[in-house]
Amino acid sequence: MKKLFFDLFPVLLFFAAYRLGLSDPQFALNTLDALHVRGIGERQAPILLATCAAIVATLAQTAWAWLRYRRVEKMMLFTLALMIVFGGATLVFHDPQFIQWKLTIFYWTFALVLAVSNWVFGNNLLRKMLASQLELPETVWARLNAAWVLFLAGMGLLNLYVMHQFSEEAWVNFKLFGTSALMFLFILAQALYLSRHIKEDSDDEHAPAAAIPPEAQP
Q: How far is CA 107 from CA 73, 179, 190, 210, in A?
A: 17, 11, 18, 15
Q: 212 pLDDT exceeds 60? A: no
Q: Supply the pLDDT for residue 64.
A: 94
Cα dihedral 125, 113, 163, 169 sign: positive
Q: What angle do CA 198, 202, 203 make, to 5 degrees?
A: 105
Q: 214 pLDDT exceeds 50? A: no
Q: Supply the pLDDT for residue 83.
A: 96
- The mean pLDDT of 164-178, rounded to a whole number, is 97
Tell me the pLDDT tens digit for each residue of 53-94.
999 999 999 999 999 889 998 889 999 999 999 999 999 999
Give the residue from 131, 186, 179, 185 showing the smallest Cα distance to 159: 179
Q: 42 pLDDT exceeds 60? A: yes
Q: Residue 198: phi, psi to the nearest 5?
A: -75, 130
Report domain extents, the chain.
Answer: 1-94, 96-210
Q: What is the mean pLDDT of the chain?
A: 88
Q: Which of 34-48, 164-178, 198-212 has the lowest mean pLDDT?
A: 198-212
Q: Supply the pLDDT for residue 215.
A: 46
- The mean pLDDT of 111-126, rounded to a whole number, is 91
Q: 152 pLDDT exceeds 50? A: yes
User: The whole model's pTM is what?
Assistant: 0.87
| Sequence-ordered alpha helix ranges (H) in the chain | 2-23, 25-34, 45-69, 74-82, 88-93, 97-119, 125-130, 138-165, 168-173, 179-194
Identify any residues that bridge with 134 across adjacent strands, giving them in sequence order. Answer: 198
Q: Supply the pLDDT for residue 134.
A: 73
Quote the distance between the C-alpha of residue 98 and its chain's center: 15
Does residue 151 or residue 201 have the better pLDDT?
A: 151
> Could you tell me if 61 and 6 are in contact, meaning their C-beta atoms sit under 8 angstroms apart?
yes
Residues 108 and 119: their CA atoms lie apart, in Å, by: 16
Long-range CB contacts for residues 144-147, cutoff 8 Å, separation at least 24 = 144/190, 144/194, 144/208, 145/114, 145/118, 147/190
Banded model confidence at residue 26, pLDDT cuts 50, 70, 90: very high
Percent of the chain at pLDDT > 90 equals 67
